[in-house]
């Protein structure tokens, strides 16, 4: 393992040993797969891992005004893996879905006609996802291994490629960036690798995830997350408007939104419900009734946040976007 600029670089075998020894105190339920887009393969020399990471961190902190580099892990064309921030840190990957996520950036542009993953890179991507599933006892499926493309950039809802999206992790990533592509190609490869790992110890992980009481959405442009219920506690991260959080506990004026003692001001959070679409195609209307204009549709298993209920209809956006509640399964 090599360390420079605060990053730890290792091959995939070293990473497996390192991962098994890690104690992770927060609940992890989501493995996010992204591609860097830029930089891409032509920016990789075979020996400039740390310089590329330093450049990405600088961009994230200076240009995006984030507190750190966004991703937890980065994979490279030569098959190396970099640990970019502690596993206990919440990454900055998919809006509203980071508190229980591990964010992986795969170095390259995997859109059609661009970079083709090297055999070493592809092997590491598969093994890395399998190792994380093994570590955190996650099912190998598209509810727990996800692509950024499946989430709307504006509201963070999982619309499976509908709405405002990135192509991330690439339109040619292991056969494509759609849910059906992942199910057909990516998921089976990870499952096969996980089967090979089944006899190995998973290391220390959270065995019984704490159940959240309800969910909430950040309404302020910026909300400080503190290490306790009060302004006298240090700020550990910052949430942006529209982020969806799980609520585990309340104390006068404060809400605990993480299993690692992370708190936010209650007045800046609006409590909401979450639901999953059960119909094959669910129409979105501009008001609470079938007489209102259509605004598109949601695919089966899309995840939505409920802002308001009116009769048999539910509003799923800050704006006037409504769906029939009978086609929703509430969490």
**CATH number, domain with residue 169:** 3.40.80.10
pLDDT band at 23 (very low <50, low <70, confident <90, very high): confident
- In this structure, the answer to whether residues 116 and 47 fall within a common structural domain is yes
What does pTM read for this prediction?
0.65
**Model confidence over 162-199: pLDDT tens digits?**
999 999 999 999 999 999 999 999 999 999 999 888 76
Last residue of one domain, picked from the residues 271, 289, 307: 271
3-state secondary structure of 14: helix
Distance CA 313, CA 321 (A): 10
pLDDT for 304:
83
Range of the domain at 243: 214-271
Considering the domain boundaries, does residue 205 fall inside one?
A: no
Q: What are phi and psi of 214, to 5 degrees?
A: -165, -175
Whether residue 259 has pLDDT greater than 70: no
Amino acid 208: pLDDT: 41
Whether residues 263 and 287 fall in one domain: no
On the question of pLDDT at 204 being above 80, the answer is no
pLDDT at 206: 38
Residue 203, in any domain of the structure: no
CA-closest candidate to residue 12, choices 126, 135, 139: 126
244 in the same domain as 153: no
Residues 166 and 36 in one domain: yes
141 shares its domain with 122: yes
| Residue 207 belongs to a domain | no
State how far the Cα of 3 lies from the Cα of 10, in Å rounded to an integer: 9
| Domain boundary pick from 238, 253, 271 | 271
pLDDT band at 207 (very low <50, low <70, confident <90, very high): very low
Q: Is residue 264 located within the same domain as residue 294?
A: no
Statement to judge: residues 188 and 88 lie in one domain? yes
Q: Which residue has the higher pLDDT, 282 or 250?
A: 282
| 100 and 57 belong to one structural domain | yes
Domain presence at residue 48: yes
Same domain? 246 vs 316: no
Instruction: Give the full edge-to-edge strand order of the sheet including 254-258.
Output: 235-240, 222-226, 262-265, 254-258, 249-251
If asked whether residues 242 and 326 sit together in one domain, one would say no
How many domains is the chain built from?
3
| Six token digits for residue 301 | 């298993």
Would residue 208 count as lying in a domain? Answer: no
Of the ranges 23-37, 170-184, 303-317, the best mean pLDDT one: 170-184
Do 64 and 186 reside in the same domain of the chain?
Answer: yes
């Amino acid at each position: 393992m090599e360390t420079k600029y605060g990053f730890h670089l290792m091959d995939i075998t070293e990473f497996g040993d390192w991962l098994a020894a890690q104690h992770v105190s927060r609940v992890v339920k989501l493995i996010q797969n992204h591609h860097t887009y830029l930089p891409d393969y032509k920016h990789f020399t075979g020996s400039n891992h740390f310089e590329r990471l330093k450049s990405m961190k600088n961009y994230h902190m200076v240009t995006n005004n984030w507190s750190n580099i966004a991703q937890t892990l980065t994979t490279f064309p030569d098959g190396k893996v970099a640990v970019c921030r502690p596993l206990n840190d919440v990454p900055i990957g998919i809006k509203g879905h980071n508190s229980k996520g591990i964010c992986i950036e795969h170095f390259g542009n995997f859109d059609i006609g661009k970079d083709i993953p090297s055999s070493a890179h592809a092997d590491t991507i598969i093994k890395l996802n399998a190792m994380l599933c093994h570590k955190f006892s996650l099912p190998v499926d598209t509810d727990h291994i996800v692509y950024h493309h499946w989430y709307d950039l504006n509201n963070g809802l999982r619309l499976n490629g509908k709405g405002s999206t990135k192509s991330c992790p690439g339109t040619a990533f292991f056969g494509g960036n759609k849910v059906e592509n992942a199910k057909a190609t990516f998921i089976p490869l990870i499952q096969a690798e996980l089967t090979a790992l089944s006899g190995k110890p998973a290391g220390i992980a959270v065995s019984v995830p704490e159940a959240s009481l309800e969910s909430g959405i950040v309404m302020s442009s910026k909300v400080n997350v503190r290490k306790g219920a009060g302004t006298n506690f240090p700020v550990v991260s910052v949430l942006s408007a529209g982020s969806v959080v799980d609520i585990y506990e309340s104390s006068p004026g404060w809400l605990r939104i993480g299993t690692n003692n992370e708190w936010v001001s209650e007045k800046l959070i609006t409590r909401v419900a979450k639901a999953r679409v059960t119909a094959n195609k669910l129409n979105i209307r501009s008001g609470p009734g079938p007489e209102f204009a259509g605004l598109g549709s949601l695919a089966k298993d899309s995840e939505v946040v409920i802002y308001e209920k009116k009769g048999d209809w539910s509003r799923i956006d800050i704006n006037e976007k409504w769906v029939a509640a009978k086609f929703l399964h509430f969490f």
